[in-house]
Amino acid sequence: MTAIARTKPEKRRYLVRMAMAMALYLTSLFAAEVLIEERGLSGWPAYMLAALPGLAFAAVFWIFVRLIVEERDEFFRMLYVRQMMVATGLTLTAAAVWGFMETYLPVPHLAAFWWPTIWCFGTGVGAVYNKITMGSYGECR
Amino acid sequence: MNNRLRVLRAERRWSQQDLADRLDVSRQSVNAIETGKYDPSLPLAFKIADVFELAIEEIFLRDVAEAAAE
């Protein structure tokens, strides 16, 4: 039996959805680079195309929430909620601190798309926090 | 909340995975419950009681401090 066939259905759905979101993200990012940056696409098509990578990134949050809803193991469900809370807490704290630093100090401006990126790293921190405090990383991280 | 899960499991010579399979949960869940890191929901507690053919209060015990406070 292959590893993917042994995987629980909710985890398999999580991995497939994540792969699709990342494929959409990379494709739309590439299209925006080529069509807007290099070929000068403008007007509403440019706005729509520029929004696409961000929307693909937003899918990551929906995918994570679906994992929590679909997971049948209540212990893992709790681990995922804790993981999300750690990631959200870290990201919002970092955004608030950096925002005030940008206002009052000569620090470089950080593009807003870094915050969801930091959130994704935060889920990794959350998984480590779970391992230390609860003895398990959970299955998806 | 304390529990007698490890003792009950040992009496039946079940591994954590054996019990997890009977409860349809992960081995990590059984480990977390046994070590007191996680208190199961009421439906899972009932399921555990059914698997061991015992009452819930014969498996899960109140903390000494909790009981003394009442």
CA of B41 vs chain A CAs: smallest distance (Å): 8
pLDDT, mean over chain A: 91
Q: What share of chain A in percent tops pLDDT 90?
A: 85
Contacting residues of B for A71, CB less than 8 Å apart: none
Residue of B nearest to A71 (CA): B25
CB within 8 Å: A74 and B40: yes
Phi then psi dihedrals of residue B3, to 5 deg = -150, 165
Cα B27 to Cα B29: distance, rounded to the nearest angstrom: 5
Neighbours of B16 (CB within 10 A): 18
Cα A83 to Cα A132: distance, rounded to the nearest angstrom: 12
Q: Are residues A10 and A26 in the same domain?
A: yes
**Residue A137 confidence (pLDDT):** 86
Q: Are residues A98 and A49 in the same domain?
A: no
Q: Are residues A64 and A77 in the same domain?
A: no
Q: Are residues A15 and A66 in the same domain?
A: yes
**Residue B70 confidence (pLDDT):** 66
* pLDDT tens per residue, range B14-65: 999 999 999 999 999 999 999 999 999 999 999 999 999 999 999 998 876 6
The closest of B41, B30, B39 to B8, measured between CA atoms, is B30
* pLDDT tens per residue, range A53-75: 999 888 999 999 999 999 999 99
Question: What is the mean predicted confidence (pLDDT) over A42-61?
Answer: 92
Residue A134's domain comprises 73-141
Q: Are residues A4 and A66 in the same domain?
A: yes
Q: Are residues A28 and A92 in the same domain?
A: no
- Final residue before a domain boundary, out of A54, A71, A88: A71
Q: Are residues A45 and A91 in the same domain?
A: no
Domain count, chain A: 2
CA of A139 vs chain B CAs: smallest distance (Å): 10
Residue of A nearest to B30 (CA): A75
Q: Are residues A122 and A84 in the same domain?
A: yes
* pLDDT tens per residue, range A93-115: 999 999 999 999 999 999 999 99
CA of B11 vs chain A CAs: smallest distance (Å): 25
* pLDDT tens per residue, range A112-128: 999 999 999 999 999 99
- Final residue before a domain boundary, out of A31, A49, A71: A71
Q: Are residues A61 and A79 in the same domain?
A: no
Cα A133 to Cα A131: distance, rounded to the nearest angstrom: 6
